[in-house]
Amino acid sequence: MAGIPGLLFLLLLLLLCAVVQVHPYGVHWKPAWPAYRLPVVLPQSTHSLSKPDFVAKAKLEVSSSCGPQCHKGTPLPTYEEVKQYLSYETLYANGSRTETQVGIYILSNGGGGAQRQDSESSGRPRRKRQIYGYDSRFSIFGKDFLLNYPFSTSVKLSTGCTGTLVAEKHVLTAAHCIHDGKTYVKGTQKLRVGFLKPKFKDGGRGANHSTSAIPEKMKFQWIRVKRTHVPKGWIKGNANDIGMDYDYALLELKKPHKRKFMKIGVSPPAKQLPGGRIHFSGYDNDRPGNLVYRFCDIKDETYDLLYQQCDAQPGASGSGVYVRMWKRQQQKWERKIIGIFSGHQWVDMNGSPQDFNVAVRITPLKYAQICYWIKGNYLDCREG
């Protein structure tokens, strides 16, 4: 394994997402998960920071003056800049925190560098609010749905956002749900994650049946968070300047949740997604206590962001954006998280305000980082 010199990194930046296998469309074609050559993101040094004050107000929306065309015109980051953005801060339950600097590597037996590849625009955003015309969201009722995959992977954060189970003890969410770019959100030190469970009266396990016309009563069971990871790309304010590129965070629970989780994956180009469509479920504020599912087409994309018009309200931020594609090695269909719903974004487009709902894409470098946070071993993070 070798480090990437600065000049070489810029060249590798154009090669990373090269797909190992390319299958032409045919009669029996299935939208399959591409095989990527992935980099390695490893910690190099860690030092302690002072305890934060936890005074920020929870933001359930993020604003930016940089839209799709602005992002596509942004210069490629240098190797040192990317290392700084992927460095991260860790907050522990006792209030202590650390900062970790990272190195980016490729494997000597065949790896790749980073790539910034902008895709063609697939449409224009409409000048509407977070509900685009007819409200196409579906509230999910009944334990037979809520407690089963994939809906059971959606959890609620005590700060008001949504998260997704991505490992036995890990939850993926948006960074702005716990950090406003300057300091941590009030309540983050005692952050909890809520799991929907049936609410039984007098021990009556069969009191409410999912086929009943009356929705089953559900309640949240909460688990404390042990520590959180937030990339410095968010904390440094980069996201506030050009968008929400690094608006993601990983939470580690104090104990396993014992539910089926959804793996993360590298986000393929929109044209490779089944129907060019994404899915996600979250706890929208306008439907308290309800898990809300939606799906929609991708309208535009950059290397780091997906622009879409999925109907959503504050509270859905942090939801895992997923797709279902064919896994060639196992010969089966598999859902993977390919992004994190960041929220509603107003963009100044040539002096005219326009709005999008935006998701942060899991790029090869972000995958390598998040996977290492989860597994702690880069050898377990070679398949995106």
CATH 3.40.50.300 fits 31-104+138-198+216-375, yes or no: no
Q: Which residue out of 317, 319, 344, 355 is catalytically annotated? A: 317
Sign of CA dihedral 181, 186, 190, 196: negative
Measured N-to-C along each axis, helices 79-86 and 364-375 cross at an angle, to the nearest 10 degrees, of 40
176 is catalytic: yes
Position 61 scores a pLDDT of 65
CA-to-CA distance for 238 and 231, rounded, in angstroms?
Answer: 11
The two structure tokens encoding residue 249 = 């965070």
Q: Which residue out of 71, 152, 170, 176 is catalytically annotated? A: 176
317 is catalytic: yes
State the pTM of this model: 0.82
Alpha-carbon distances, residue 310 vs 172, 280, 297, 363 (angstroms): 20, 9, 8, 21
Position 106 scores a pLDDT of 83
Contact 15, 113 (CB under 8 A): yes
The two structure tokens encoding residue 196 = 């929907």
pLDDT values of the chain reduced to their tens digit, one per residue, 384 residues = 444 555 455 445 545 544 444 444 454 678 999 888 889 999 999 999 999 989 888 776 666 667 777 777 888 888 999 999 999 999 999 999 999 999 999 875 543 333 333 333 333 333 334 554 445 545 656 666 667 889 899 999 999 999 999 999 999 999 999 999 889 999 999 999 999 888 765 444 544 444 444 456 778 999 999 999 999 999 875 444 545 899 999 999 999 999 999 999 999 999 999 998 999 899 988 888 888 898 888 888 989 999 887 887 888 899 999 999 999 888 999 999 999 998 777 666 666 777 778 899 999 999 999 999 999 999 899 887
CA-to-CA distance for 18 and 259, rounded, in angstroms?
Answer: 34
**What is the residue extent of each domain of the chain?**
31-104+138-198+216-375
Position 162 scores a pLDDT of 95
Position 112 scores a pLDDT of 38
Position 37 scores a pLDDT of 81
Encoded amino acid at 376, one letter: G
Q: Which residue out of 135, 144, 241, 380 is catalytically annotated? A: 241
Position 10 scores a pLDDT of 44
